Structure 1
Amino acid sequence: MDSFLPLCGAPGRAADALHLVLCPFAGGSAGAFRSWRTLRPVGMQVSLAVYPGRDHRMNEACVANIGDLASRVLEGIEAEGIDPHRLVVAGHSMGAQVAYEVCARLERKNLPPRGLVLSACHAPHLRGRRPLSHLEDHAFLEQLAAIGGCAPELLGDPTLWPVFMPMLRADFQATESYWQAQAPVPARRLQTPALLVYGSADEEAWRAEVDAWKAWLCHAQGPVSIAGDHFYVTRRPRAFLEHVGRCFESSLAPIQASAFR
């Protein structure tokens, strides 16, 4: 089963362009990234990682472990034959945890990617401030709606819950159980160059919590700010891609400036 969906591409799908693989937030599916599909060519190929239990993978069992999700994404990268020198693995919120683990697996294979983007996520040695997985269904969805990650229609229509709750429950179990007591020693930090991103009005992942990822990385830029709350990645895709391009495109063909206007 194809684990990626194309979101937008480089002009002519240039062979030397970056290929950004985007790992979405908990509960994230293709519908949340509709705005990305309207972008003009942006100087890089962009693919959305589709986790089991949603979109065209709805019939697959959900996965409730970050390491297992990362292994599934890595399988997709290998199946696509993406050149590691062109590959940037990006993740937003829970997806940042997945993206980090994908890069760790690539490094263990001696196939480090070109870069890593960690967006709107606290470092693994910190605890999230809004745990949800222990709540009963209605309270769980109320809190998710308060964050902005749940459509009001879902909260108000329990007949839809059997369709969406298994995926949501699995994702939040995965992200909330991803925790390490302390950061690794410097010799065990990830070597892949990284970019840290946060939302200017994000109450779920503050700047300092995103900046704390530096204890896990050898080379990190940022954190850079994008205007918006926790879901800036779905509302300001041009700004997100512009930061990625500035960080990782330096030795490749430059991003067309018109793409970000």
Structure 2
Amino acid sequence: MTTHPPTHAPDRTASRWLGSVPPGTDAPVRLFCFPHAGGGSSAFKGWHQALAPLTEARAVVLPGRERRLRELPYVAMEQLVDPLYEALAPFLDRPFALFGHSMGAAVAYEVARRCTAQGRPPVHLFVSGRRAPHMPARRRSYAELPDDAFLETVGAMNGTPADVVRQPELFRLFLPCLRADFELNDTYRPLPGRRLDCPVTALAGRGDPEANADELRAWSQVTSGAAEVCTLPGDHFYLKDAPPSLLDLVRARIERAMTPAG
């Protein structure tokens, strides 16, 4: 695998993987945000403004959605991690943290491991709305459902905009991306690699059926660093509309990570 040295001028190939930020942004910390299945940069709307000036929040945009709609989405974690790391590498020129929700939690975890193996560990990892990677699934794979049942199940999870759910033709445009993401998520098993040593915060809504207390606590086993569990009001998509309580928590953990010990 070819790695790239840090640079302050990322190329266009790399930048297509990331949502944009306002010109002139030069925060001392970057936060890479990995969305849920089918999600894109809109899942983290408002985060950059809320976390500035300490943190530059950048949403990760995977193939198959938003401006990358014509690109084929990935269906397996082992196919995704290498090109994703290569795309992020030019942006690892300063301390960084990772936040992933649902499928994005698994992706963020594997990227954190890859960065650590390359000598660029994150200062903090936030994993949201997903069981720890070594915990078995408690539900059947949604990717195996027929189209109608699949769309009904995904729509009921409260993560798809209501105006999209109400328009079946529009909803079906997202079907290839959604199916690919759920296949990636539901078939994922931890890849070979070392244990993390950064702090890990596991989060979920208190009414989230996808991640119970035991599954959240199990994230402590993926790192030799500090680990904590935090729950907030809401369901699986408790983070919609960027609740201040979540952003305050993220800000506080990043500030702690950037404060010199002693």
Same fold (TM over 0.5): yes
Partners in 2 of 1:178 and 1:114 — Cα distance?
25
Partners in 2 of 1:217 and 1:164 — Cα distance?
35
Contact 1:20/1:88 (<8 A) preserved: yes
Alpha-carbon offset, residue 158 of structure 1: 3.7
Q: 5 Å matches for 1:166-177?
A: 166-177=176-187
Question: Identity of aligned pairs, percent?
Answer: 32
In structure 2, the residue matched to 1:45 is 56
Match of 2:142 among 126, 132, 138: 132
Match of 1:13 among 25, 49, 73: 25
Match of 1:116 among 116, 125, 131: 125
Q: What SS does the corresponding residue of 1:4 show, helix, strand or coil? A: coil
Contact 1:118/1:196 (<8 A) preserved: yes
Q: 5 Å matches for 1:182-261?
A: 188-250=194-256, 252=258
Cα gap change, 1:51 to 1:148, in 2 (>3 Å)? same
Quote the RMSD (CA, aligned, Å): 2.8
Alpha-carbon offset, residue 21 of structure 1: 0.3
Spell out, residue by residue over 1:53-76, the C-alpha distance to the aligned partner (whole angstroms, 9 max, x if none). 111111211111123333333223
Query: Unaligned regions of 5+ residues in structure 2, if any?
Result: 1-12
Cα gap change, 1:18 to 1:62, in 2 (>3 Å)? same
Alpha-carbon offset, residue 26 of structure 1: 0.7
Cα gap change, 1:113 to 1:81, in 2 (>3 Å)? closer
Pair 1:4-2:26 in alignment? no
Partners in 2 of 1:195 and 1:59 — Cα distance?
34
Q: Which moved more, 1:71-80 or 1:127-136?
A: 71-80
Partners in 2 of 1:126 and 1:38 — Cα distance?
35
Spell out, residue by residue over 1:215-250, the C-alpha distance to the aligned partner (whole angstroms, 9 max, x if none). 222113310122211112223343223222222312
Cα gap change, 1:223 to 1:8, in 2 (>3 Å)? farther
Cα gap change, 1:40 to 1:78, in 2 (>3 Å)? closer
Contact 1:118/1:197 (<8 A) preserved: yes
Contact 2:35/2:43 (<8 A) preserved: no
In structure 2, the residue matched to 1:75 is 86
Pair 1:104-2:113 in alignment? yes
Q: What SS does the corresponding residue of 2:231 show, helix, strand or coil? A: strand
Partners in 1 of 2:181 and 2:154 — Cα distance?
12
Partners in 1 of 2:198 and 2:78 — Cα distance?
18
TM-score (structure 2 length as normaliser):
0.82
Partners in 2 of 1:74 and 1:241 — Cα distance?
25
In structure 2, the residue matched to 1:259 is none
Partners in 1 of 2:243 and 2:135 — Cα distance?
27
Contact 1:35/1:234 (<8 A) preserved: no
Partners in 1 of 2:215 and 2:72 — Cα distance?
32
Partners in 1 of 2:90 and 2:49 — Cα distance?
26
Query: Unaligned regions of 5+ residues in structure 1, if any?
Result: 254-261
Partners in 2 of 1:87 and 1:178 — Cα distance?
25
TM-score (structure 1 length as normaliser):
0.82
Alpha-carbon offset, residue 173 of structure 1: 0.1
Q: Which runs of 4+ in 1 moved over 6 A?
A: none
Q: 5 Å matches for 1:18-37?
A: 18-36=29-47
